[in-house]
């Protein structure tokens, strides 16, 4: 069974850096074709893909947020970390960690992040 | 605004069929696979369709996907009240070098 779980702060202040961790099980990030991604959803709005990292260390970022994002992986610990700099209230929303293979195959439950002073 | 265009809402009666459209361009739908996701109220999205028309294990055959040119369609037959959800299409955009989603369609089963 594949599971993913997001962890990190629920509240951050404007200009701070957000650090989210995805801890997964049931698959390996060393398997060819497999990746892990971060997708966010502002309240009542659509999904937005932020960043992806693949088994071969290839990374892809949202062109609109590239300068603020960094995604890294620790294959041995089954963890993927997303950092997002210079947080703003418009970044408030639910952040999902997902397994990438055929598409966004399996999703974590999501973690709500609020940006407020 | 989303790169892919979906109708904001659709509705149909229980037992009926509904289709949800997703419109894009040659840089996304026209040359890449489309996937569809179901998001029940208060829950994380779930993959329904990948590679235009393939269903993951456990997804009933009431759900189907198709693609023609720069548009894709999700079909749901035998509608149930439990199908009430938001549905999103997604694909790769070669111009943006990024995965993109539609704005989502809210399905109401009357």
Closest-CA residue to B46 (of B86, B79, B81) = B86
Could you say which of A37, A103, A110 has the minimum Cβ distance to residue B44?
Answer: A110
pLDDT at A94: 98
Q: Give the gap in angstroms from C-alpha B66 to the nearest C-alpha of chain A.
A: 16
Query: Which residue is it, tokens 């966004």?
Result: A104
A105 with B56: Cβ contact below 8 A: yes
User: Which of the 8 DSSP states describes residue A90?
Assistant: G
Could you say which of B44, B98, B103 has the minimum Cβ distance to residue A60?
Answer: B98
A63 with B47: Cβ contact below 8 A: no
CA distance readout (Å), A34 to A5, A77, B28, B83: 17, 16, 21, 29
pLDDT at A28: 96
Average pLDDT over residues A14-31: 97
φ, ψ for residue A75 (rounded to 5)?
A: -60, -40
Q: Where do the DSSP E strands lie in chain A? A: 3-7, 11-12, 18-25, 35-41, 48-54, 59-61, 69-74, 79-84, 93-100, 104-107, 111-115
Average pLDDT over residues B66-95: 97
- pLDDT over 90 at A31, yes or no: yes
Q: Annotate A71-109 with b (16+ C-beta within 10 A) or e (fewer).
A: bebeeeebbbbbebeebeeebbbbbbbbbbbebbbbbbe
Confidence of residue A72 (pLDDT cuts 50, 70, 90): very high
Closest-CA residue to A63 (of B94, B23, B28) = B94
Contacts of A109 in chain B (CB under 8 A): 44
Q: Which two tokens stand for residue A36?
A: 């892990």
pLDDT at B62: 98
pLDDT at A109: 98
């Amino acid at each position: 069974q594949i599971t993913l779980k997001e962890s990190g702060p629920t509240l951050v202040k404007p200009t701070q850096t957000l650090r989210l961790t995805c801890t997964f099980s049931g698959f390996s990030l060393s398997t060819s074709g497999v990746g892990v991604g971060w997708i966010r959803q502002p309240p009542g709005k659509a999904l937005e893909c932020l960043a992806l990292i693949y088994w071969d260390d290839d990374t892809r970022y949202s062109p609109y947020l590239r300068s603020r994002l960094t995604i890294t992986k620790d294959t041995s610990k089954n963890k993927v970390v997303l950092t997002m700099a210079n947080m703003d209230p418009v970044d408030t929303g639910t952040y999902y960690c997902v397994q990438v293979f055929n598409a966004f195959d399996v999703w974590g439950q999501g973690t709500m992040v609020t940006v407020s002073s | 605004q989303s790169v892919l265009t979906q109708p904001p809402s659709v509705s149909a009666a229980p037992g009926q069929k509904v289709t949800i459209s997703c419109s894009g361009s040659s840089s996304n739908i026209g040359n890449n696979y489309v996937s569809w996701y179901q998001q029940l109220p208060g829950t994380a999205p779930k993959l329904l369709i990948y590679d235009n028309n393939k269903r993951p294990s456990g997804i009933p055959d009431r759900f189907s996907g198709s693609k023609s040119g720069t548009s894709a369609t999700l079909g749901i037959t035998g509608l149930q009240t439990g199908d009430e959800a938001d549905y999103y299409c997604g694909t790769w955009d070669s111009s943006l070098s990024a995965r993109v989603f539609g704005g989502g369609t809210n399905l109401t089963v009357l």
